[in-house]
Amino acid sequence: MFKVQQTIGSVLCCKCGVPMPPNAANMCVNCLRSEVDITEGLQKSIQIFYCPECGCYLQPPKTWIKAQWESRDLLSFCIKRLKNLNKVRLKNAEFVWTEPHSKRIKVKLTVQAEVLNGAVLEQSYPVEYTVRDNLCESCSRFQANPDQWVASVQLRQHVSHRRSFFYLEQLILRHDAASRAVRIKQVHQGIDFFFGNKRHADSFVDFLSKVVPIEYRQDKQLVSHDVKSSLYNYKYTYSVKICPICREDLIFLPSKVAIGLGNLGPLVVCTKVSDNITLLDPRTLRCAFLDASQYWRSGFRSALTSRQLVKYSVFYVEPPVGETTVGGQKYALSYVQIARESDTGNLFCVQTHLGHILKTGDQALGYDIYGANVNDDEMEKYRLHGRLPEAILIKKCYDKERERKKGKPRAFTTKKLPMEMDESRGGRGVDPGKMENEYEEFLRDLEENPELRFNISLYKNKDYQESDETASMTDGEGAPTVPIEELLAELELSEEGEGDGEDDMDE
């Protein structure tokens, strides 16, 4: 259909006389704006509250919203605070620059509304927000008492060494389990963790139950009580006990437990402690697993611990009579002739599960049952009947090889948790010299056992040079070390911006 071309003519604005295309009001935009103010009745200035500690803004009645200066969150929060904005349509909103310490936020809003006879007018206007500082509840509570904690986890293991805690520390660091702890304190035979929130403490205890066998109880203490609204403020305490059985411990199982595990030889060695305990009978190479609840039902303690390990020299190793692999670890049963270092005249011929690594001339660490004085009636009875072996070897000793590397730094370093030391109990507190020795032994343990390193992050030692290592490697077999591939490079955030990435080629 033929349509005539319609050109819009121009009329004069009825107020100012400037030529303009005709519109519903027949006034130019300026005249219309001067006539009608669509921003009338809208809020132009408003007060908002800001917590300077945590950077949150208050949305009454009680919510605090975290927002950065001049961010989208802040913009939407500001717009939400305006009251009558539903009468007009909001087209655009943006921040106008204000001096950050002026305590004013300016937002320019562009709104559209219908005026007169159907003409839609768009107008922008600034809204000024006065920012008032007001500490939010959690910050004010924290300010009043910075050591305020709501839940605490008291982790204890009633043994004389702190090896488990070193290992646990590395695990916690790797999994970031204690990131929300307000304070960490080291005490005799344990560590205390303090949290600001019961949920955090709960999740931490959950994490612990997955990595070590624990038993815990939870108690609460009333702090304050609001009668009118029946709100009770409590402090929660979790008393967590780690089972006292550690790796390389020698255990004499009580008869009930031994029978329950399928007549496992009453003398067993603990080979691994994770969320359950692995017990190995060194004479039959049978393994059994006990989880936390099973252990705590009987609650037996170890007969001999790693403190009591004695050095033996191996004189002769017979070829292994049986081999088995349990939990990724290989064991071979064989007879060996050994004698204590201190008393080489006395030869013993014993069975050992380390047949696959021991060779003539090696040194090994083991428990001297022949000369031990154990406080256990059952065990004494066994001994009288002559059914106890004279010695049980636990691991190979690398002291000779270590001599070569004495004084040289290791290829790896570990990180530590920010712990407070308990100086208060004088004498019963931790002895720094002893701690160092124990830590050194722990690091040696890590070197010797790859399965221990599985869940731990080890970092490259910056001071360590490759050349030292290769020089020592040329002469014979060196002491076991952590291969370079397993080490993580530390993340360095330097001014140049390039971060040293984590090259983790681990499993």
Partner 1 sequence: MATRLQFENNCEVGVFSKLTNAYCLVAIGGSENFYSAFESELADVIPIVKTSLGGTRIIGRLCAGNKNGLLVPHTTTDQELQHLRNSLPDAVVVQRIEERLSALGNCIACNDHVALAHTDLDKETEEIIADVLGVEVFRQTIAGNILVGSYCALSNRGGIVHPHTSVEDLDELSTLIQVPLVAGTVNRGSEVIGAGMTVNDWTALCGSDTTATELSVIDSIFKLREAQPSSIVDEMRKSLIDTYV
Footprint on this chain of partner 1 (rule: CB under 8 A): 4-9, 11-17, 22, 25-27, 116
Q: How far is the CB of 9 from partner 1 (least distance, A)?
A: 5
Pick 22 or 299: Cβ nearer partner 1: 22
Distance CA 445, CA 164 (A): 12
Distances (CA, A) of 409 to 82, 252, 284, 477, 492: 64, 39, 40, 19, 21
Pick 4 or 384: Cβ nearer partner 1: 4
What does the block give as tokens for 163?
């090896």
Task: With beta carbons less than 8 A apart as the criterion, state whether 148 and 139 touch.
Answer: no
Pick 32 or 208: Cβ nearer partner 1: 32
Task: With beta carbons less than 8 A apart as the criterion, state whether 264 and 279 touch.
Answer: yes
Residue 469: Cβ-neighbour burial (10 angstroms; 0-12, 13-18, 19+): middle
Pick 6 or 494: Cβ nearer partner 1: 6
Pick 21 or 418: Cβ nearer partner 1: 21
Q: How far is the CB of 2 from partner 1 (least distance, A)?
A: 13
Q: Is 57 helix (H, G, I), strand (E, B) or coil?
A: strand
Q: How far is the CB of 7 from partner 1 (least distance, A)?
A: 4
Distance CA 191, CA 177 (A): 14
Give the count of alpha carbons within 13 A of 234, CB side only. Answer: 12
Q: How far is the CB of 94 from partner 1 (least distance, A)?
A: 33
Q: How far is the CB of 38 from partner 1 (least distance, A)?
A: 17
Task: With beta carbons less than 8 A apart as the criterion, state whether 355 and 320 touch.
Answer: yes
Q: How far is the CB of 88 from partner 1 (least distance, A)?
A: 22
What does the block give as tokens for 369?
């049952």
Pick 6 or 375: Cβ nearer partner 1: 6
Q: How far is the CB of 12 from partner 1 (least distance, A)?
A: 5
Pick 3 or 217: Cβ nearer partner 1: 3
Distance CA 339, CA 343 (A): 7
According to DSSP, the residues that pair with 340 across neighbouring strands are 312, 343
